[in-house]
Amino acid sequence: MRTFAHFNARTVDEVVSILRRYGERAHVIAGGTDLLGKMKDELLPKYPEALVNIKSIPGLEYIREDHGTLQIGALTRLEDIAADPLVRGKYNALAEATRRAASPHLREMGTLGGNICQDIRCWYYRHPDNRFPCLRKGGGRCYAMNGENRYHSIFGANVEQGCYAVHPSDTAPALIALNAKVKTSRRTLAVEDLFEVRVGKTTVLDSDEIVTAFEVPTPAKATKSSFVKFALRKTIDFPIVNCAAMIASEGGRVTAARVCLNAVYVKPYRATKAEEFMAGQPINEANAEAAGDAVVSDAKPLQHNGYMVQIAKVMVKRAILACRSEAPPAQT
């Protein structure tokens, strides 16, 4: 690794001050499970001149319930969220998403804020020594479009309709399904609105802005949530497709639904067609399968990833069925 300046920030304001001083030449580090690998392999056109450590800031690691809202600090480790009785009892989608993310050792280092803000995993983008100057690095082409694209978007592209790299987070669809909000050093917004595809960016965060906390509304009665994931291995692997759902029912019929896929598009993909189809319907095999069919009706697979369409359909179906009363755990 090359030489860089390192700062142990004591407050959020100090982080903001340092980031303003360095601009895009500085990066924030917490668990470091994504950033350090990128630096060692020299993936990006510009090597960071400074790292700002936010683990040294007290008060950003917590799980608590306050006034009907689950509050989680940005530095809270994935493993702690997965094991927390409160999260497991009321917010199953988030508990399961954090339990299925990465490997046990990585979950003990990785934070919720980092998992949400992580970079893309496209192998052209991630090739050591910046071998492929792709669109997400400010280059002129997406190498995956006509290359090896078996794990890329099945719902189109972005960065002016050119980049097909998918968003890889497991926790993002769970937080979106649970209608969560994210707090930053300057604003509060829905987690769903956090993501944006730009050159060198996966979020709307400015260069001097950091995530500080998450707020998840307590689900209403007769509401269940779920998270399912398809990967080649049950641990370590990033998702080929994952899906989270939160469904409220009354009298055996759906009164409200939120369903979100990930790893199928350049940012988390809200499955609104599944939500609309399930409104007023009972949760059963036929309806859940039809909801999955509705979602993938918009799919536009590339040459090598058509198989992901069927997986996405099945993930939607399983996530919905897992929200039935007394539903058995979903197996993926």
Does some domain include residue 332? no
Alpha-carbon 322 to chain mean position: 20
Does some domain include residue 114? yes
Note the pLDDT tens digit of each residue in 135-159: 999 998 899 999 999 999 999 987 6
Q: Using alpha carbons, list the distances in angstroms from residue 18 to 22, 60, 227, 253.
A: 6, 18, 38, 52
Does some domain include residue 13? yes
User: What is 220-252 written as a DSSP string?
Assistant: PTTEEEEEEEE-SSSSSPPPSEEEEEEEEEETT
Q: Pairing mode, if any, of strands 50-53 and 188-190? A: unpaired
Q: What integer pLDDT is reported at residue 44 of this predicted model?
A: 87
Instruction: Give Cβ neighbours of residue 184 (< 8 Å, ≥ 6 apart).
Output: 205, 209, 210, 211, 212
Does some domain include residue 34? yes
Selected residue with higher pLDDT from 8 and 328: 8
**CB-CB contact of 191 with 175 (8 Å):** yes
Total domains in the fold of the chain: 1
What's 185's domain CATH number? 3.30.465.10
Does some domain include residue 302? yes
Of all residues in the chain, the percent with pLDDT exceeding 70 is 97
Q: Which of 11, 9, 13 is nearest to 50 (CA)?
A: 9
User: What are 163's strand-pairing partners?
Assistant: 158
Binned at pLDDT 50, 70 and 90, residue 6 comes out as very high
**Token pair for 195:** 């993501």
Note the pLDDT tens digit of each residue in 246-286: 999 999 999 999 999 999 999 999 999 999 999 999 999 99
**CB-CB contact of 106 with 168 (8 Å):** no
Instruction: Give Cβ neighbours of residue 212 (< 8 Å, ≥ 6 apart).
Output: 12, 60, 73, 74, 113, 183, 184, 185
Mean pLDDT along residues 90-102:
97
CA distance 157 to 165: 8
**CB-CB contact of 239 with 265 (8 Å):** no
Instruction: Determine the structural domain holding residue 15 and report its residue range.
Output: 1-325
**CB-CB contact of 178 with 217 (8 Å):** yes
Q: Which of 307, 262, 325, 261 is nearest to 274 (CA)?
A: 261
Helices (H) and strands (E) in the chain, counts: 11, 14
DSSP 281: -
Does some domain include residue 330? no
* Gyration radius of the chain's alpha carbons: 19
**Average pLDDT value over all residues in the chain:** 95
Does some domain include residue 331? no
**Token pair for 189:** 């917004």
